[in-house]
Each structure stands twice: as C-alpha cells, then as structure tokens.
Chains A and B, each alone.
Chain A
C-alpha cells in the first residue's frame, strides 16, 4: 500500500522509496529508507507528520505519493 494511505497511529514498514528526484535524497537523509518503520501522528490539508527513527518529521503529502509500505 502507499504511505499516504496509512492512518494516524498506523505503523508501516517502508518497502520502496519512489519520489521526485530532488526530494528523494532528503527523505532518505531523514530516515525514509527501505526497512525502516514509520508512523503518521498528525495530519492536515497539505502535510503529514511522521514518527521515524525516534524523530518527528512533517512532509508534504504530494512528496510521498508513491512511497510503498507494508503494515
């Protein structure tokens, strides 16, 4: 399933990081890498805030459209 489909509080395991070229590196630096657990904790119109690697990061929904996760 897609990362954007995770509900708040639902943890997912990242399977594949597919996204626009320029944001991919930044996302990976933040921790969005295959095999890492991620959980959405806040959401608004444009952004979702995730708990990942012990940190809390907000990302625009548009930038994570194609990231695949499994629950």
Chain B
C-alpha cells in the first residue's frame, strides 16, 4: 500500500514518518529537483505500507518547489491513501490543507499530532466529532512516543476498503459556472469542479502539471480557452474578477474550518501560550535578544572546541598506530617503496588527518544545532536578524544558513533552500564562506593560542570576535551583491514561530552522530584521499633539485609577502582547497621541506617553527583573516554547483571570497607597515 504523508511545516510530520518507518527509511531527492524526498516502509498485520514523506506545505497552491512537489503528488501520483498530519495546538489553520486534500481524495486518515502539548495547554478536542464532520478517520497521535501510530495504520487499511464520504465545500457563487466547463474537461480521477476552478483562475502551474500528467491540452486548447474567457466574462458581469474567485473560495474554506473548530475544540485556558510569549519577550527583545544570541554563539563555539579536543587526539593516536600497521603490511606484501610512500604518507595520512580533525567537532556542533532547531529557537534568530538583512536587501532566514555554515559550509549552502526568493538564496549561498566552518576552527584556535592569548576561554572569545567580523563582512557583501550582480527587491516571506518544544535529546544525538559520521567519511574518501595523493606528488616530484611544491612556494613568495603572508602559507591554503583541516600540516610540511604532512602537537614548538620562518603576530592575524575570508572548500563548491545547477555561481562563490580575502590582508599589511 502506497501512502503519502502531508502536513503543514512544524507539525511533527517527520517524527510521525520516523515512528512509522523506524530504521526502514531512505532519503534522496525528488527526480530533477533539489527537494528532499524520504521514503520508508513498515510491515504491520501482514500488510506492507510504503510511505512517502512529502515536503511540509501550507496549501496545495504552489509557491515554491516544495509545495509544487506535494501538490503534484497529491493530484497526479498513484497512491493508495494519504495521511494528513495536523498540529493539535494549531488545528484551525491546519484544516485549510485538510480541506484541500479532501477535495481530491477520500482515502485520507487525519493524524492529529502533539496531543500531549494540547493537553498541557488545556486544549480539548473531540476527535469523534471531528471525524464525523470531516467524513474521514481522525486519530490522535503523540509521534515522539509512538502513541496512535498503530491506529493510523489500521485506519489506513480501513480507508482503502471502505468508501468514505468526506466533507465537500460548495462554492455557491460558482456552482452554475463551473458546470458550464464540464464537457470540455477530460475525464480523469481529478474532480471536474477542481479543474474548472483552476481553469477559471488561470492557475497555469496547475494546468501545466495536469497536461503533463494526463497528456491533455488544457492550457493551449482554443475551445477551452474561449469557453473559460466566456465564463469569466459572465462572472465579471456579476461582479467577480479572477482575483475575487480565488479570494472568495478561500474565504468559504476558512469559514468552514472556523465552524468545524468551534464545534470540536474547547479552550479551557485563556492564555494557554503564556509561557511561550514570555520566553519570546526575552529572546526577541532588541537588547536581551542580541546578547543571548552572541552568548549562545560563544558558548557553542567554546563547547565545540573544548569538547572536540580530547576525541581528536584519541583519533590521531589511533590513526597513527594504524599507520604503522598499514606500513608493515604493505611492506610485507612487497609493494614498491614509492607506492607505499604515496599510499601511506600521501593518501592515508591526509585521509586520517581530515577525519581526526573533522569528526569530533561535527559530533558536537550539529547535535547542538539540531537541539536548538527542535527547541524552536531558530526562527526567533531569523526574526531578530531580519532587520539587518533587510538593509542588505536579503532576508532573516540567511542568518540560519550562516549558523549551519559554522558546522560545515556545504550544509549551510544546502540549508539555503529555506529561502524562497532565488535571488536571496544565491546571496546566502555566495556569502556562506565568510562564516568559518568546523574545519577552520583548529587553525584559528591554534593561531590565537600561539600568538594572541593562550587561555581557551579567552581564546574562544577572540574567535567569537573574528567570527563577528566575518558576519559583518557577510552583511557588506550581501548588500553589494544586491546592488550589483544580484539586483532585486526585498522579498516577501512568512516566518512561522512554532511553540517551544522539549527536544528528544538522546534521539537527536544518536541520529546526528549517525548522519554526520556518514557525511564525514564520504567526504574524506571522495575528496581528501585524492588531495593527499596530489599533495604527495607535488612534494616528492623534483624538477632539478627542487620539488614542485618548493617551486610553487618560491613563485608565490613575493605575492604572499605583499599580503602579509608568504609562499608557504598561500600554497597551504591553495592545497587546502579540498579540506581546510590540512592547512597547518601543509604549512609544516612546507617549512620543514618534508615529503609528507605531519603535525607538531606541541604549540610552543610549532610557534618556534613559524617564527623561525619569519612569522610575526601580524602574519598570524593576516592568516586568520584570510582563513575567514577565503574561498570555501571543494565540497562546498561542488554542493553549490549542485544546488544552483550552474558553473557560473560555483565559480563566483570561489572568486568573491578569495578576492576579498586578498584585499583585506593587503590593506591590513599596508596599514601596519605605515604605522
């Protein structure tokens, strides 16, 4: 049995999906779109249910790719039943979608979720009455504890075999008119009334999809177009414009939902959301709200850095012990020593390094992020930051992509999907690199410890300052982009502020660890292994008596000095394009003229190495600035290419930060030379 899951955003639909499918699920993309698709299955009572989790949507009128996907599925796809998930504390608005769905199919089970929250807020719902009024089964559920899930499965079975009579809203003012179009509308499983409505309102996206799915020609057929024009004229004579038709139909639906809710819900507590409103007061207040955001940033950074330290060193040790084993094994198998060299000191080392540096911080940062997300805090951040972003001709949701970018810029880029306006989405994507990802933290923290302040707490504070600088650059560049290559007006969007919910901490942590490990390993193998090989080649192939690496370093030295650094540093950044994590090891390799990357875990030793090669505090500052303001890593660029579908934007996302980084370092260097 094929079942689609639909519902408004924030109703706990994914929790229901997880409760229904457990581990038997798989995420991918809808064909041809960058919209995520999750499918899964469950076997219950001998029936195999296949679930498709559709993107959360407020209505079937399509505004975005996500809603288009859901609409097309519901109208045109081949399924057996639908589950519409509703939030018990927001039932009236949720019923809007329910009504739209019921106009299309009667094989629907309503899952009223979050009933425990409703109970806490003393919201009483008569589920039987609701089911009676809607004409379909209604099941109260608490997805996080799997209550009601089995009943949903049973009702799904029922709904497929028993003929339901769902509620039908009559648009009195349109009755006669829509019937006039009946003859011209082809017979499909879609109700003719609905097709007529879309014809009368010239809903081209819907009609195109209809034509595509049923091989009809509603959009261009002259007979239909003429008849539609005729009917619309008649309606116009009666005082209804096309706009009016849409508005009036929505008013009918809204009125009906209000009526149903008044019969079914009792609010026993006047100010049931008092707590949420008080919390909001503090979190969105210009003064306390901003302080809390900065403190949270600092706190998350600090925990990520401190918490990742120990696991990282354990991983280092493990990997190096394994390196010896690998070496012995490969020697034992009599591989030529040059191959062993390349494999172990080139590929394996870089691979091991990236994993050891990248994995622990991500295990800490992303669970923290997901916890904040589940709590419901993130939209409040978007609200707080919207004012600033509006000044940059962008929108508050960009703040959320930046927060994700702290963990990993590639994730920040994918996260830009929450921004509806394509122009603003691009701005968020192009500027995401100005927020340093987890991979850049070790470089930044090491340099701060060595050249600025050794204490971890104060070091984190200085890091926060650098990051705030990166954020300011983001604002500036966003504004510049809006005035130049990404011209446009400020967009319109709606931001839902969900009620605060207690996150399921253990589940979040486990799920995050599972997802992130996979991501890290995939990236390490796909990107770092080849990078390791290339680096090894450059450091070990000699032209004359210099390695290719050394030649490049010498060539870049003058340029490097111009911007406060040197050839080794520039090469380290360039070769660190696949993975920011290896920048310092490459620097060490460069300075020590080694044929392989290595680490100096003693910061005092490392500092001596740097100072012996001409570093000053200014150099450290330029390196840190460049780290914040340089091109994003290869994975991010590839992600940008995928998300935008264009090489042009991928290229720009590389060049823009790179050029800005060069300019800023040049200015800082110039400045300090003058004083």
Closest to A21 in B: B243
B window 255-314: CB within 8 A of A: 255, 258, 273, 276-277, 280-281, 284, 286
Residues of A near B280 (CB, < 8 A) are 41-42, 49
Pick the contact of A58 from B93, B247, B281, B383 — CB < 8 Å? Answer: B383
- Whether A57 contacts B496 in the complex (CB less than 8 A), given A42-B280, A42-B284, comes out as yes
Q: CB < 8 Å: which of B89, B91, B276, B494 contacts A30?
A: B494
The answer to whether A30 and B93 touch across the interface, beta carbons within 8 angstroms, is yes
CB-defined contacts of A59 to chain B, threshold 8 Å? 494-495
Cβ contact within 8 Å between A58 and B496: yes
Identify which of residues 26-57 in chain A touch chain B, using a CB-to-CB cut-off of 8 Å: 26-31, 33-36, 41-42, 44-47, 49, 52-57
Indicate which residue in A27, A33, A54, A62 contacts B254 across the interface (CB closer than 8 Å): A33
Q: Which residue on chain B has the smallest CB distance to residue A33?
A: B254
- Report if A35-B251 is in contact (Cβ < 8 Å); known contacts: A27-B494, A47-B383: yes
Provide the residues of chain A in CB contact with B276, threshold 8 Å: 56
* B414 contacts A by Cβ under 8 Å: no
Closest B residue to A51 by beta carbon equals B273
B254 touches A31 (CB 8 A): yes
Chain A residue nearest to B280 in the complex (CB): A42
Residues of B close to A6: CB separation below 8 A: none
Is the CB–CB distance between B96 and A29 below 8 Å? yes
* CB-defined contacts of B277 to chain A, threshold 8 Å: 41
Residues of A within 8 A of B254 (CB): 31, 33, 35-36
Given A25-B63, A26-B58, A33-B254, A42 and B383 touching (CB < 8 A)?
Answer: yes
CB-CB under 8 A for A33 and B63, given A53-B92, A54-B93, A57-B497: no
Instruction: Give complex CA distance A44, B386 in Å.
Output: 9
Chain B residues near A52: list those with CB within 8 A.
93
Shortest distance in angstroms between B239's beta carbon and chain A's nearest beta carbon? 15
The docked-state distance in angstroms from the alpha carbon of A33 to that of B59 is: 14
Query: Is B126 positioned at the interface, with any CB of A under 8 Å from its CB?
Result: no
Interface size for chain A: under 10, 10 to 19, 20 to 34, or 35 or more residues? 20 to 34
Q: Are A54 and B246 in contact (CB under 8 A)?
A: no
Report how far A23 CA is from B496 CA in the complex, Å.
Answer: 15
Chain A residues within an 8 Å CB radius of B383: 42, 44, 47, 49, 58
Contacting A at CB under 8 A, from B337-390, are: 379, 383-384, 386-387, 390
Q: In whole angstroms, what is the CA distance A59 to B492 when docked?
A: 8
Q: Does A7 contact B (CB under 8 A)?
A: no
Q: Considering the complex of A and B, which 6 residue pairs feature the smallest CB-CB distances, nearest first?
A: A45-B387, A23-B492, A58-B495, A29-B59, A53-B93, A29-B58
Q: Which A residues are in CB contact (< 8 Å) with B96?
A: 29, 31
Q: List 27 A-B contacts (CB under 8 A).
A: A22-B63, A25-B246, A26-B58, A27-B494, A28-B250, A29-B96, A31-B96, A31-B254, A33-B254, A34-B247, A36-B254, A36-B258, A42-B284, A44-B384, A47-B383, A47-B495, A49-B497, A52-B93, A53-B93, A54-B89, A54-B93, A55-B496, A56-B496, A57-B497, A58-B496, A60-B386, A62-B490
Bound state CA distance, A56 and B497, in angstroms? Answer: 5
Which of chain B's residues have a CB closer than 8 A to the CB of A62? 490, 492
Given contacts A26-B63, A44-B383, contact A60 B496 (CB under 8 A): no
Q: How far is the CA of A46 from the CA of B61 in the complex (A)?
A: 27
Q: Which residues of B contact A33 (CB under 8 A)?
A: 247, 250-251, 254
B458 within 8 A of A: no
Chain B residue at smallest Cβ distance from A31: B93
Q: How many residues of B contact A (CB 8 A)?
A: 40
- How far apart are B297's CB and chain A's nearest CB, in angstroms? 19
Given contacts A28-B247, A31-B254, A36-B254, contact A57 B494 (CB under 8 A): yes
**Contact at B58–A30, with CB atoms within 8 Å?**
yes
Whether the Cβ atoms of B59 and A60 lie closer than 8 Å is no
Residues of A within 8 A of B386 (CB): 44-47, 58, 60
> Shortest distance in angstroms between A18's beta carbon and chain B's nearest beta carbon?
10
Chain A residues contacting B497 (CB-CB under 8 Å) are: 49, 56-58
Q: Which residues of A contact B (CB under 8 A)?
A: 17, 20, 22-23, 25-31, 33-36, 41-42, 44-47, 49, 52-60, 62-63
In the assembled complex, how far is the CB of residue B489 from the closest CB belonging to chain A, in whole angstroms? 10
Closest-CB distance, A22 to chain B (whole angstroms): 6
A56 to B276, CA, bound (A): 11
Chain B residues near A29 (CB-CB < 8 A): 58-59, 61, 96
Bound-complex Cα distance A22 to B488 (A): 15
User: How many angstroms between the C-alpha atoms of A52 and B93 in the bound complex?
Assistant: 8
CB closest residue in chain A, given B383: A58
Q: Find the B residue at minimum CB distance from A59.
A: B494
Contact B90 A35 (CB under 8 A): no
B496 to chain A, nearest CB (A): 6
Which B residues from 488 to 533 make CB contacts under 8 A with A? 490, 492-499
Contacts of B379 in A (CB 8 A): 58
Known: A26-B63, A28-B247, A30-B58. A60 touches B92 (CB 8 A): no
Judge whether B396 is part of the interface by a CB distance below 8 angstroms: yes
* Cβ A55 vs Cβ B492 within 8 A: no
Once bound together, how far apart are the Cα atoms of A62 and B490, in whole Å?
9
Q: Tell me the minimal C-beta distance from A70 to chain B in angstroms.
A: 16
Per-position 1/0 for B78-92, Cβ under 8 A of A: 000000000001111
In the bound complex, residues from chain A placing their C-beta under 8 Å from that of B250 are 28, 33
* A54 touching B387 in the complex, CB below 8 Å, given contacts A26-B58, A33-B250, A63-B492: no
Bound Cα distance A46, B490 (Å): 11
Q: Which residues of B contact A20 (CB under 8 A)?
A: 492
By beta carbon, the residue of chain B nearest A52 is B93
Question: Which residues of the partner chain B approach A25 to less than 8 Å between Cβ atoms?
Answer: 59, 61, 63, 246
Contacts of A30 in B (CB 8 A): 58, 93, 494
* Shortest Cβ gap from A38 to chain B (Å): 12
In the bound assembly, the distance between CA atoms of A28 and B246 in angstroms comes to 10
Contact A54 B251 (CB under 8 A): no
Q: Which of B59, B90, B246, B273 contacts A53 (CB 8 A)?
A: B90
Across-interface contacts of B258 in A (CB, < 8 A): 35-36
Q: Could you say which residues of chain A place their CB within 8 Å of the CB of B496? A: 55-58
Min CB distance A11 to B, Å, is: 13
Give B384's nearest chain A residue, CB to CB.
A44
A46 touches B390 (CB 8 A): yes
- Chain B residues with Cβ below 8 Å from A54 are 89-93
Task: Output the least CB separation between A31 and chain B (Å).
Answer: 5
By a CB distance below 8 angstroms, the chain A residues around B396 are 46-47
Residue of A nearest to B57 (CB): A29
Chain A residues in 8 Å Cβ range of B92: 31, 53-54
